Structures are given as structure tokens and as C-alpha cells.
Chain A
Amino acid sequence: RKEVEQDPGPFNVPEGATVAFNCTYSNSASQSFFWYRQDCRKEPKLLMSVYSSGNEDGRFTAQLNRASQYISLLIRDSKLSDSATYLCVVNTNAGKSTFGDGTTLTVKP
């Protein structure tokens, strides 16, 4: 079993749709969590950190469920520019990072 697992998708949604991604992790001692986006043939870029209380940044909402060991990302009112691969990242208590393999999103007109 992988340490961090994501549904690879692809998710194909129309503009304006709401889409949600989940990510599960196996190490219960994990301490910090992030979502990144990666465009084709580009480096990953931080989308948002994930806090225990949940957090929102504009159209994006991230949540953490420690009991069930998953994090989620909700995108509302999808834009064409949201098309990318979304990576969840989990850091162990020692600081080592594990990336999920990513979920691909395509937003269509």
C-alpha cells in the first residue's frame, strides 16, 4: 500500500462545476499537509496548506480528517485555468515529504 494515495482521475468537469478530491495517508504520525498543483511539464506549485480546522482560499477549501487519515480539496466554480494535476503532500514528524501521484482535472468550456 502506498503511503499517500489519490484517485488518479481524470476528472472532466464543465466550467462552473464543483469538484472534490480526496487523499488518504497511512502514517498516523504525519504532521503537516499540503495541496500542490502541477501543470504539464512544469514544477509543482503550492496551492494551499491544510489545517486541522479546515481552511479556505477563495474558491478552494481544504480539510483534514486525522481520525480517518485523509485530506480533501474542494474547488467551487471551476475555471478553465484550474485544469492541472493536483498533488497532495504529507510530511512525517521527521519532516520527510511524500507526494501522492496526483489527480488530473480537466475543466471544459
Chain B
Amino acid sequence: GAGVSQSPSNKVTEKGKDVELRCDPISGHTALYWYRQSLGQGLEFLIYFQGNSAPDKSGLPSDRFSAERTGGSVSTLTIQRTQQEDSAVYLCASSSRSHQPQHFGDGTRLSIL
């Protein structure tokens, strides 16, 4: 079956521009997570959605980062006024519900020039 789908696969943009990253979770999965991973580093938690509950935004590094999840399915992560330190791979994962294993997308590799 279809796994977690992320788009774009790669994004190169200039410093100061806004970017939008998309995540399409596995159908029926109620939990959705965003992480970022810099080269050679571990996964950094960004935000977690569970059903209709308020998202856990505790990992968002600044107010330039925001995310939404429409209709309990597709999620978009928006980074405004990008900075070079935002360059990383952004990974999305979903699970059937909280405390179940997460399934990851291939990630979006973001490069800020």
C-alpha cells in the first residue's frame, strides 16, 4: 500500500524566501509527526498532531516555523523568511495512533542559499 509521501523531494531556495513542505500520511493514520535532521545529526522533533487534539508545537525552533494539518490528513510545514541554518532534511512520519510505530516518508532535503 501507499506509504507516507512527502513533496518536494528537494528544495533549493534563497535566504529570506518562504517555503512550504507537504506530507501525505498513510490513510487512516491519526498521528503525524514532523522532524528535521541536519547532516550527521539526530532527529529533532518539531511538531506532533494527534487526531483533533491541539498539536504539540513544543519543538518548533522559532515563530518562523508553523504547521497545519487539514481534515486530519495532509499536513504542511511552512518556514517563513528562511535562514541558512534551516538547511536540513525535513522528515514526516505517521502512525495509526499515538504509541504505535511511526512510518517515515523519504523526506524533503531543503537547502538555503
Contacts and interface: CB of A to CB of B under 8 A. Distances in A.
A80 to B, nearest CB: 22
A43 B91 contact: yes
B113 interface: no
Interface in B3-58: 31, 33, 35, 41-43, 45, 48, 50, 56, 58
User: Interface SS of chain A: helix, strand, loop or mixed?
Assistant: strand
A43 B99 contact: no
Contacts of B106: 43
A30 B44 CA distance: 18
A96 B44 CA distance: 12
A44 B45 CA distance: 14
- Interface bin, chain A: 20 to 34
B43 A99 contact: yes
Q: Looking at B35, B91, B98, which has the most chain A CB atoms within 10 Å of its CB? A: B98
Interface string B88-104: 00010000001111111
A55 B48 CA distance: 28
B15 to A, nearest CB: 24
Given A87-B43, A102-B42, A96 B103 contact: no
A46 interface: yes
Contact of A97 (B102, B103, B105): B102
Contact of B45 (A43, A87, A98, A102): A98
B104 A91 contact: no
B35 A99 contact: yes
A99 B102 CA distance: 12
A17 B107 CA distance: 33
A31 interface: yes
Given A43-B91, A43-B104, 4 more contacts: A31-B99, A96-B56, A97-B45, A101-B42
Interface of B: 31, 33, 35, 41-43, 45, 48, 50, 56, 58, 91, 98-107
